[in-house]
Amino acid sequence: MHPILLVFVSLLGIYLLQIVVEFWRTIHNVGHLSGPRLLFDHERFLVWAIAKLLPPIPYVSRGGSWMLRTKHQDFAAAGQDATAMVTMIPWPSAVIYLADAAAIKEVATFRAKFPKPVDMYEALFAFGGNIIASEGEDWKRYRTIAAPAFSERNTRLVWDETIRIMFDLFDNVWGDSPEIVLDHCVDITLPIALFVIGVAGFGRRVTWTSDLSVPPGHQMPFKDALHIVSTNLILKMGLPNWAMKLTERTRRVNLAFDELRQYMVEMVNARRSAETREERHDLFNGLLDAADDNPDGSVAITEQELIGNMFIFLLAGHETTAHTLCFTFALLALHPDEQERLYQQIKGILVDLNGMPTYEDMNRFTLSMAVLYETLRMFPPVSAIPKRAAEDTSLTVSNADGGETTFPIPSGTRVDYQVPGLHYNPKYWKDPHTFRPERFLGEWPRNAFLPFSSGARGCLGRRFFETESVAAITMMILKYRVEVKDEPEFVGETFEQRYARITAFDQLLNTAPRRVPLVFKRR
- Cβ atoms 67, 387 nearer than 8 A: no
CA dist 299 and 138 (Å) reads 13
- Give the pLDDT band of residue 363 (cuts 50, 70, 90): very high
> How far is Cα 219 from Cα 214, in angstroms, rounded to an integer?
6
Contacts 24+ apart (CB under 8 A), 393-397: 393/113, 395/82, 395/96, 395/98, 395/103, 395/106, 395/107, 396/102, 396/103, 397/80, 397/81, 397/82, 397/98, 397/100, 397/102, 397/103
Q: Write down the pTM of the prediction.
A: 0.91
pLDDT band for 277, please (50, 70, 90 cuts).
Answer: low
Tell me, yes or no, whether 218 and 325 share the same domain.
yes
pLDDT reading at 133 higher than 70: yes
327-336, 408-417, 449-458: which has the minimum mean pLDDT?
Answer: 449-458
pLDDT computed for residue 27 by the predictor: 93
Q: Give the residues across from 481 on adjacent strands.
A: 521
The closest of 30, 27, 22, 37 to 91, measured between CA atoms, is: 22
**CATH assignment at residue 483:** 1.10.630.10
End-to-end CA distance of the chain: 82
Specify whether 210 is located in the same domain as 254: yes
Q: State the amino acid at position 473 in one-letter form.
A: I
Q: Is pLDDT above 80 for 273?
A: no
Q: Do 174 and 95 reside in the same domain of the chain?
A: no
Same structural domain, 425 and 473: no
Provide the domain count of the chain.
2
Residues 123 and 146 placed together within one structural domain of the fold: no
pLDDT tens digits, one per residue of 204-220: 777 777 656 788 899 98
Where are the alpha helices (H) located in 63-116, listed in sequence order?
Answer: 66-70, 73-78, 101-109
64, 70 contact by CB (below 8 A):
no
Partners of 93 in the β-ladder = 87
Owning domain of residue 76: 3-127+418-432
Average pLDDT across the chain, whole number: 87
Say whether 459 counts as a known binding-site residue. yes
Say what the pLDDT of residue 51 is.
Answer: 64
410 occurs within a structural domain? no
pLDDT band at residue 279 under the 50/70/90 scheme? low
Let me know if 5 is exposed, middle or buried by CB neighbors in 10 A (0-12, 13-18, 19+): exposed
Q: Helix, strand or coil for residue 228?
A: helix
